[in-house]
Amino acid sequence: MSKFVKQLVTNDLAKRLDGVQYLMLVGLTGINANKTVGLRATLAEKGIHLRVIKNSLARRATEGTPLAPAFQDMEGAYAVCWGATDIVNLAKELVKLSKDRTLQGFEIRGAVLDGEALGAAQAVEVSKWPTREEQIAILLGQILGVGATLSGQFISFGGKIASQIEKIAEKGE
């Protein structure tokens, strides 16, 4: 590959990864072209991008970005995956695919999150976290739970006071 072509590929990857805060590295060893095309289509339906890129070009494309740590000690063949609504959804989808028996050779090899490189085991662990939507639901449940309890307590005291006033009013008549 000539320097000009390498520069074009590097610039294209840098544009594609502009604004990306997290990504995962996967291995595609032993997966034929037809299965790779099917894999790309499956991931694209979920808003996930898969790109196979040379290590040196990936290093150049991400230089000075929060994604750079993922490519510092990278050796061997990797594919880069990014997209989905958050890193947890991305990790969950990739872990699910890595367990698919028809995709022998598809494995998670690492990730980068908030400018920190994660190993394969840590990347798989991310898939066990609650997603953004689940975290919002948990938080709303906690906020609304306190309000509902407080509201119930106010209503019960109001009911008791109303009951006592009613009894006094009955005695007074």
Task: Tell me, rounded to whole angstroms, the distance of Cα 70 from its chain centroid.
Answer: 16
Separation between Cα atoms, residue 137 and residue 128, nearest integer Å:
16
Separation between Cα atoms, residue 165 and residue 40, nearest integer Å:
71
Task: Tell me the three state secondary structure of residue 128.
Answer: coil
Cβ–Cβ < 8 Å for 62, 70: yes
What is the mean predicted confidence (pLDDT) over 16-45?
A: 89
Q: Output the six-digit token pair for 167.
A: 């009894």
Question: Confidence band (pLDDT; 50, 70, 90) for 122?
Answer: very high
User: What pLDDT sits at residue 173?
Assistant: 62
Of 22-26, 27-31, 168-172, highest mean pLDDT: 22-26
Question: Confidence band (pLDDT; 50, 70, 90) for 114?
Answer: confident
- Confidence check: pLDDT of 45 > 90: yes
User: pLDDT of 60-111, one tens digit each?
Assistant: 888 888 888 888 877 777 899 998 888 999 999 999 988 888 888 889 999 9
Quickly tell me which residue has 């996967």 as its tokens: 26
Share of the chain above pLDDT 70, in %: 99
Cβ–Cβ < 8 Å for 10, 61: yes
N-to-C CA span, the chain:
102
